[in-house]
Structure 1
Amino acid sequence: MPEEVRIHHVSLIVADTERSLVFYRGLLGLMPDKQRPDLGYPGAWLWVGDQQIHLLELPNPDPLQGRPQHGGRDRHLALAVKDVASLALRLEQAGITFTRSRSGRPAIFCRDPDGNALELMETA
């Protein structure tokens, strides 16, 4: 792959930015980018290394019902984490359901408060 091509950010539609920040900042530990300009709608930019997740508080055109239970069979964002077991415990304590990777590797799939699927995979 050419070096000049890389992911800069991923945008996720959310219904309530503050509620989403409880998940992304509180549970996953992502830090907001305070440089987000006023775009005419609420949202937040969150750092993931030198990339970002952009939370967009806009009407969601996607159905919230009928999505696959296992996030690995849906559109999803994969994040590398250091310790899946401790993250799984934090999710359980917060009442967030998840499924384990069907490949047997240390990874879990969950959904944020708006139904966006995430894969949280342990990397060395």
Structure 2
Amino acid sequence: MLIIKPIVAPRFLKLLSKINGFGISGFFFFPFIFINRPEPSVMDNDHRVWRKTVRHESIHWQQCVETLIIGFLLIYGGHYLLLRLNGKDHEAAYRGVVFEREAYTNQWDEIYHKRRVWFAWLACFNDC
């Protein structure tokens, strides 16, 4: 799996945060990863959090490649809609989407991108 170089776009993410209703520090829209600020110094306490956000969005990049882009959009949207129809609020449905479950589960693992297998997100339908 690749770690993609993000585009720094704080105004864009601030706008998305207003629309979405909760803070967004990173956003993936194939083939781009948008992030709210430039990479901090390695000595900065925020560096680990910044790398976590890039890893999270890079996992989505790989999922998109695996599902040929349109599959990602259909599965993501369909799963989100199904969760909403089953009574989940916006944030619970978002975090329940299979792609988000894989990304959130592995975003702190600094070597996940090296050992991730193709279609790893499928395991998250059962348990992740």
Bin for the TM-score computed over the shorter chain: under 0.3
| Structure with the higher helix share, 1 or 2 | 2
| Structure with the higher strand share, 1 or 2 | 1
Tell me the TM-score normalized by structure 2.
Answer: 0.26
